[in-house]
Amino acid sequence: MLDVIDIGDRSLESYRGIAPDEQLDELVRVARRLRGARILHLNATSYGGGVSEILRACVPLLKDLGLRVEWKIIRGDDAFFQITKRLHNGLQGAPGELSETEKALYLGNAQLNAPHLSEDYDFVIVHDPQPAAIPGLVHRSGSRWIWRCHIDTSHPNPAIWDFLTPYLRIYDAAIFTMQNFIPPRFPIRRVGIHPPAIDPLSPKNLALPRELARRILEWIGVRLSYPLVTQVSRFDKWKDPLGVVAAYRLVRQHIPHLQLALVSSMALDDPEAWDIYEKVRAETADDRLIHVFTNLVGVGNIEVNAFQSLSDVVIQKSLREGFGLVVSEALWKGTPVVAGRVGGIPMQMPPGTGGLLVDSVEECAEALLHLLSHPEEAHAFGESGRERVRQHFLMPRLLLDELRLLEALSENEPVAAPTESPAHGTGPEEALLAGNVGH
Ligand code: UDP
């Protein structure tokens, strides 16, 4: 059996007044045409990292729109996840090859998981490389298969890409975050470009009263009388935590009491994270102004929210990045960001918006020092970033992109007949459309 992730009900109506009205209205219209469709989201982990963040938010909203949606997690052991981590790195361009034994292990995992996907779905959305080989082993029974790639595959390592490509041929469509992430000789004809999005109503992103946020950070040992910069990221070489520490140390020559928080959650499918965690600890252990927090000591969504809300500047010094949800999360709280000019980050921070983009440790230090020394400019960056996120990177826009693609895929073949009643209650559409009157 695969793990089914069960999530409570949510209502799209609660986004009115937060996300743009026209997005909500259009979403309801498109969903009506797909009502009753059976959708499966399949990925490798239910927590830690951007994919689970997105699924956690979008699955209940799709249900509220009258679709029959499930979220399942594939099974895999440590050896499998070590291989898929290398696949992931290779797709982002890291050197190296998989041995024949490793390739066999990857395929063996797909063989193990495939028999558990025998139910009928109209659409199966397979996230990232871990489960990518499974569709080829499942009796298709009319499902349309979609590969959702969340990573920057613009310059994949050819050996890794050649290994994965045959498994992708069977898909009906693919989704990338950006046009230029589509790798050379891509075998899937229909491609959607859907930047990810954040959920403004999740505990991580809802407006936390300032005093409450202060108390949360003080309780875990951050001194708010001193300035604070934070990076919230998995311990991953592409997130460059040691580069963050180096940049921070340069800035501290000018701002001696500056604090740095590195906040990280350890994901199940991320064995490399422990090595990097140890390196970061070794580098920072004697420094009382550097705080390293993980989910293992109970730092979760509310704490992340508090860090993103109260930091003077949020850092995301990525060297490669699919999208970087953390950038939108910080901007949504009006906090300015200094971030690597890579992957999906510049799309969130076009020139003059949100903060400053950097290409090196030195530039990162300069940008931090500049924003910390010019609070009004920093504030204006935060405000423009918040509006950018509101227009482009909130969950309803992502759902709309996804449903439009599903609709296009079912053009010649209608999806399942509508159920007598939608999955939950009467669905949001009447309420939403009614809610729109007068807007
Ligand atoms: N995250 C978290 N706690 C942490 C570190 C990360 O909740 O300690 C969340 C973060 O808030 C964001 C997601 O994990 O929602 C990371 O997504 P992103 O796209 O930035 O990077 P990914 O991990 O997918 O490469």
How many domains does the structure of the chain reveal?
Answer: 2
Beta strands 259-264 and 290-294, pairing class: parallel
- Is residue 264 domain-resident? yes
Find the helix or strand (DSSP H, E) in which 145 lies. strand 144-148
Pocket test for ligand 1, best of 198, 232, 328 (most atoms within 8 A of CB): 232
Taking CA atoms only, the protein residue closest to ligand 1 atom 10 is 326
Read off the CATH number of the domain in which 60 is found: 3.40.50.2000
- Is residue 24 domain-resident? yes
DSSP 177: S
- Going from the Cα of 327 to the center of ligand 1, the distance in angstroms, rounded, reads 10
| pLDDT digit string, tens, across residues 314-346 | 999 999 999 999 999 999 999 999 999 999 999
- For residues 41 and 101, state if they share a domain: yes
How many CB atoms neighbour CB 48 within 10 A?
18
179 Cβ contact partners less than 8 Å away, ≥ 6 residues apart = 193
Q: What is the pLDDT of residue 432?
A: 35
- Is residue 203 domain-resident? no
- Going from the Cα of 324 to the center of ligand 1, the distance in angstroms, rounded, reads 8
- For residues 399 and 315, state if they share a domain: no
- For residues 71 and 120, state if they share a domain: yes
Residue with tokens 């609660």: 14
Residue 4 token pair: 């089914």
Question: 238 near 16, Cβ under 8 Å?
Answer: no
pLDDT band at 104 (very low <50, low <70, confident <90, very high): very high
Q: Locate the ligand 1 atom nearest the alpha carbon of residue 234 and give its number.
A: 5
Q: What's the Cα-to-Cα distance from 97 to each of 42, 103, 162, 163, rounded to whole Å?
A: 26, 10, 10, 9
| pLDDT digit string, tens, across residues 174-183 | 999 999 999 9
Find the helix or strand (DSSP H, E) in which 66 lies. none
Q: What's the Cα-to-Cα distance from 224 to each of 215, 219, 260, 348, rounded to whole Å?
A: 10, 11, 12, 28
Q: Locate the ligand 1 atom nearest the alpha carbon of residue 299 and give its number.
A: 8
Half-sphere exposure of residue 241: CA atoms within 13 angstroms, side-chain side: 29
- For residues 176 and 220, state if they share a domain: no
| pLDDT digit string, tens, across residues 77-93 | 999 999 999 999 999 99
Q: What is the pLDDT of residue 217?
A: 97
The span from the CA of 72 to the CA of 350, in Å, is 36
- Going from the Cα of 111 to the center of ligand 1, the distance in angstroms, rounded, reads 30
Q: What is the pLDDT of residue 433?
A: 34
Taking CA atoms only, the protein residue closest to ligand 1 atom 2 is 265
- Going from the Cα of 262 to the center of ligand 1, the distance in angstroms, rounded, reads 12
- For residues 111 and 143, state if they share a domain: yes
Burial-class residue 249 by CB neighbours within 10 Å (0-12, 13-18, 19+): middle
**Which residues lie across from 192 on neighbouring strands?**
175
For 166, list phi and psi in degrees, rounded to 5: -60, -30
Q: What is the pLDDT of residue 437?
A: 26
- Going from the Cα of 125 to the center of ligand 1, the distance in angstroms, rounded, reads 21
Q: What's the Cα-to-Cα distance from 10 to each of 58, 59, 64, 376, rounded to whole Å?
A: 9, 9, 7, 38
List the Cα angle 70/75/78 in 5-degree steps: 145
- For residues 398 and 388, state if they share a domain: no
Q: Locate the ligand 1 atom nearest the alpha carbon of residue 151 and give its number.
A: 25
Least Cα distance to 234 among 275, 197, 195, 201 occurs for 275
- Cα-Cα-Cα-Cα torsion 32, 397, 45, 126, nearest 10 degrees, comes to 60
Pocket test for ligand 1, best of 326, 327, 345, 398 (most atoms within 8 A of CB): 326
Q: Locate the ligand 1 atom nearest the alpha carbon of residue 301 and give its number.
A: 7
- Is residue 44 domain-resident? yes
- Is residue 14 domain-resident? yes
- For residues 179 and 243, state if they share a domain: no
**Ligand 1 pocket, residues with Cβ under 6 angstroms:** 49-50, 53, 204, 232-234, 263-265, 295, 301, 304, 323-326, 329
- For residues 286 and 364, state if they share a domain: yes
pLDDT at 273 over 80: yes
Question: 75 near 42, Cβ under 8 Å?
Answer: no
Question: 260 near 289, Cβ under 8 Å?
Answer: yes
Taking CA atoms only, the protein residue closest to ligand 1 atom 6 is 233
Q: What is the pLDDT of residue 425?
A: 34
Question: 44 near 130, Cβ under 8 Å?
Answer: yes
- For residues 261 and 371, state if they share a domain: yes
Q: Locate the ligand 1 atom nearest the alpha carbon of residue 48 and give its number.
A: 14
Residue 77 structural domain? 3-197+394-410
- Going from the Cα of 155 to the center of ligand 1, the distance in angstroms, rounded, reads 23
DSSP 180: G
Residue type (1 letter), 174: A
- Going from the Cα of 326 to the center of ligand 1, the distance in angstroms, rounded, reads 6
- Going from the Cα of 232 to the center of ligand 1, the distance in angstroms, rounded, reads 7
Q: Of all residues in the chain, what percent carry a pLDDT higher than 90?
A: 83
- For residues 250 and 380, state if they share a domain: yes
Q: What's the whole-number mean pLDDT along residues 262-268?
A: 82
Q: What is the pLDDT of residue 226?
A: 97
- Going from the Cα of 298 to the center of ligand 1, the distance in angstroms, rounded, reads 15
Residue with tokens 């397979």: 126
Q: What is the pLDDT of residue 139?
A: 74
Least Cα distance to 337 among 346, 430, 241 occurs for 346
- For residues 135 and 176, state if they share a domain: yes
- For residues 110 and 121, state if they share a domain: yes
- Is residue 204 domain-resident? no
- Is residue 187 domain-resident? yes
Q: Locate the ligand 1 atom nearest the alpha carbon of residue 150 and give its number.
A: 24
Q: What is the pLDDT of residue 414?
A: 56
- SS3 assignment, position 351: coil
- Is residue 269 domain-resident? yes
The span from the CA of 324 to the CA of 259, in Å, is 23
